[in-house]
Chain A
Amino acid sequence: MTTMRRRAVPYLLISPTVALIAAFLVYPIGSVAYYSLQHQNLTRPWANGFAGLDNFRRMLFEDELFWQSLGFTAKWVIVEVGLQLLLGLALALIVNESFIGRGLARSLVFSPWAVSGVLTTGIWILLYTPSTGVLRFLGQPEAAVLGNPDTVFPAVVVTELWRGVPFFAILLLAGLQGIPGELYEAAAVDGAGRTRRFFHVTLPHLRDAIVLATLLRGVWEFNNVDLLYTLTGGGPAQATTTLPLYVAQRAVDSKDFGYGSALTMAGFVILLFCSILYLRLNRFGEDRDR
């Protein structure tokens, strides 16, 4: 009797989590899969019903915006994650050194991590608006950077970098603190300079942390809607519309739930495929004998 009860303890402990995940994550995914095969449009209820693969056919062959948003999503994720990784790694290495005021410096450079996407938009609108922004001090008066298709991409990239770099810095700093100090001493005794110590001690030890951080952030930037939704609304002329933003527009604005669900499924499949491919290519978690 007591063993039975003891065996049930871990299941009791995880039961609230399992219930919540089942009800609010697994079930919704199932219903998205179901709706993707249906015509379901709140504005045209007479046409609702089973659609088969019609939504997917429309998406793949008739919807140019789908392909355009997919292309922009890829560009957005790669540029953002790449730049955030480089700057975040540099920042982590800097604040891992010991100097006076290190705690304060860490708090300050990490602080944008805690700021929401909407607030980031609010702040950077103040910086970008021609009449009030800082660009007028840099000799770019009256340039509406967010309304111009040529400048809008660098503008949103810099904005997201401001908030995104601290995430990498925090994760990689945690990784750096797990590297045993003797390794650096041994490398120094062997005559390895700073650059070689970085490439032969630091980088190999950070490898898993980097793979995990880039993956998490890649997924996160893929799904990131708050910032683009409020900063550009996907414009000008849909130039900054990511796939999830396109889905949100479809679902919220045109109430086309069936087609929106098909787009969602496409997003899932692409994301899952890319993630597995990425982990495979990087041989994540495998023991690497060097």
Chain B
Amino acid sequence: MSADVMTRPRSRAAVPAGARRRRSKRKDPGRVLRLYIPLGLYLVFTLVPFYWMLVFALRPAGSTDPVPWPITFEHFETVWNDIGYAVFFKNSVIVGVWSLLFTTVIAVMGGYALARYRFRGRSLFMVVLLCTQFIPGAMMLIPLFSIFKSLGLINSLGSLVLADTVFNLPLSIILMSGFISAVPFTVEEAAMVDGCTRFRGFLAIVLPQLRPGLIAVGSFAFIHTWNNFLFALMFVSKQDSFTIPVGLSYTIGEYSADFGALAAGGVVAALPVVCVFAVVQRYLVHGISAGAVKG
């Protein structure tokens, strides 16, 4: 099957030939029924909840207007300054960025080993990586808590960086090895023949071509870490170490009458990940197909 893929002339985007042919039949009335109506309905389902959150976040308290006008930022001031989202946000950024860095660097190393070397224990390593996907984070809470306690990492953001990195790693390595396999080895070999060390060759030849992979894996790690709730709830109990999801869960519990604050907190929680996701979404789809094709 991969031979088919290789010999197929590369079109700019992965548009199926069927779709290209159908473009000539623009006035197909079935297209509206088949394509635009379901898509429109699904867009409503996806976007109404987001819109509803924005409405609550932007309109004054007590208003029931379905359109947030006049716009007010009072709820954002409340959550950012009074409830402490400024601190939660900072903590989430710290944990997210460190976990992103660790995950990406270690995934490049592991992915390179899987993509370029045939070594004893390679398939065992793969099986272990896949098996980790069956481990429920919720059920690891008890043992991880006692490990972090003995390491003195309870209430420190370090425990979250560590735990999130560990849970991000397996899928990241598999994804990354797919990306590295897609870079032809011959180019790297040529560099080595020219006297480059393997490491120099990797930095000069492979790394620049790995940009989509780095973006996909990095954003994947960041989003997962940003969203992780259970570890943060369990390992951190001091309010100045809370991350965004923990802060948000307390807002849900304590401010359940103050929907404006809840919605504004939600917007603060959503904004970074939704923006990251909008930018990297196409790399993610490509990354998964690259990983899947190479198996």
Contact = CB atoms under 8 A, between A and B. Distances in A.
B52 A247 contact: no
Interface string B59-89: 0000010000000000000000000000000
B265 A25 contact: no
A115 B270 contact: yes
B179 interface: no
A48 B8 CA distance: 66
Contacts of B119: 7, 10-11
B16 A132 contact: no
Nearest to A8: B119
Interface in A1-51: 7, 9-11, 13-14, 16-18, 20-21, 23-25, 27-29, 31-32, 35
B262 interface: yes
Nearest to A158: B45
Contacts of B110: 13-14, 16-17
B217 interface: no
Contacts of A252: 141, 234
Contacts of B23: 98
A181 B248 CA distance: 46
B166 A94 contact: no
B36 to A, nearest CB: 8
A253 to B, nearest CB: 12
B226 interface: yes
Given A126-B259, A185-B18, A94 B292 contact: no
A174 B285 contact: yes
Given A17-B169, A20-B165, A94 B46 contact: no
A114 to B, nearest CB: 4
Interface string A243-268: 01101100110000100110010011
Contact of A91 (B8, B42, B48): B42
B288 A174 contact: yes
A225 interface: yes
A275 to B, nearest CB: 6
A210 B43 CA distance: 23
A171 interface: yes
B274 A115 contact: yes
B218 interface: no
Given A122-B248, A122-B251, A177 B35 contact: no
Given A99-B35, A110-B277, A174-B285, A118 B252 contact: yes
Given A115-B227, A162-B49, A180-B5, A25 B274 contact: no
A96 B35 CA distance: 10
Nearest to A106: B281
Contacts of A96: 16, 19
Contact of A126 (B56, B142, B165): B56
Interface residues of A, number: 96
Given A25-B132, A134-B48, A182 B169 contact: no
A25 B273 contact: no
Nearest to B18: A184
B285 A170 contact: yes
Contact of B292 (A98, A99, A209): A209
A179 B147 contact: no
A31 B146 contact: yes
B157 interface: no
B154 interface: no
Interface in B134-149: 134-144, 146-147
A240 interface: no
Contacts of B265: 122
A203 B274 CA distance: 31
22 contacts: A11-B113, A13-B109, A14-B109, A16-B110, A20-B162, A24-B166, A98-B15, A99-B36, A110-B277, A116-B226, A123-B266, A125-B256, A126-B56, A134-B52, A162-B45, A174-B292, A180-B8, A181-B16, A185-B21, A244-B136, A264-B136, A272-B134
Given A11-B113, A178-B5, 14 more contacts: A10-B113, A14-B110, A28-B144, A31-B143, A91-B42, A111-B46, A114-B277, A118-B245, A122-B53, A123-B49, A132-B64, A184-B16, A223-B139, A226-B229
Interface of B: 1, 4-5, 8, 14-23, 35-36, 38-39, 42-43, 45-50, 52-53, 56, 64, 106, 109-110, 112-114, 117, 119, 121-122, 125, 128, 132-144, 146-147, 162-163, 165-166, 169-170, 173, 198, 223, 226-230, 234, 245, 248-249, 251-252, 256, 259, 262-263, 265-266, 269-270, 273-274, 276-278, 281-282, 284-286, 288-289, 292-293
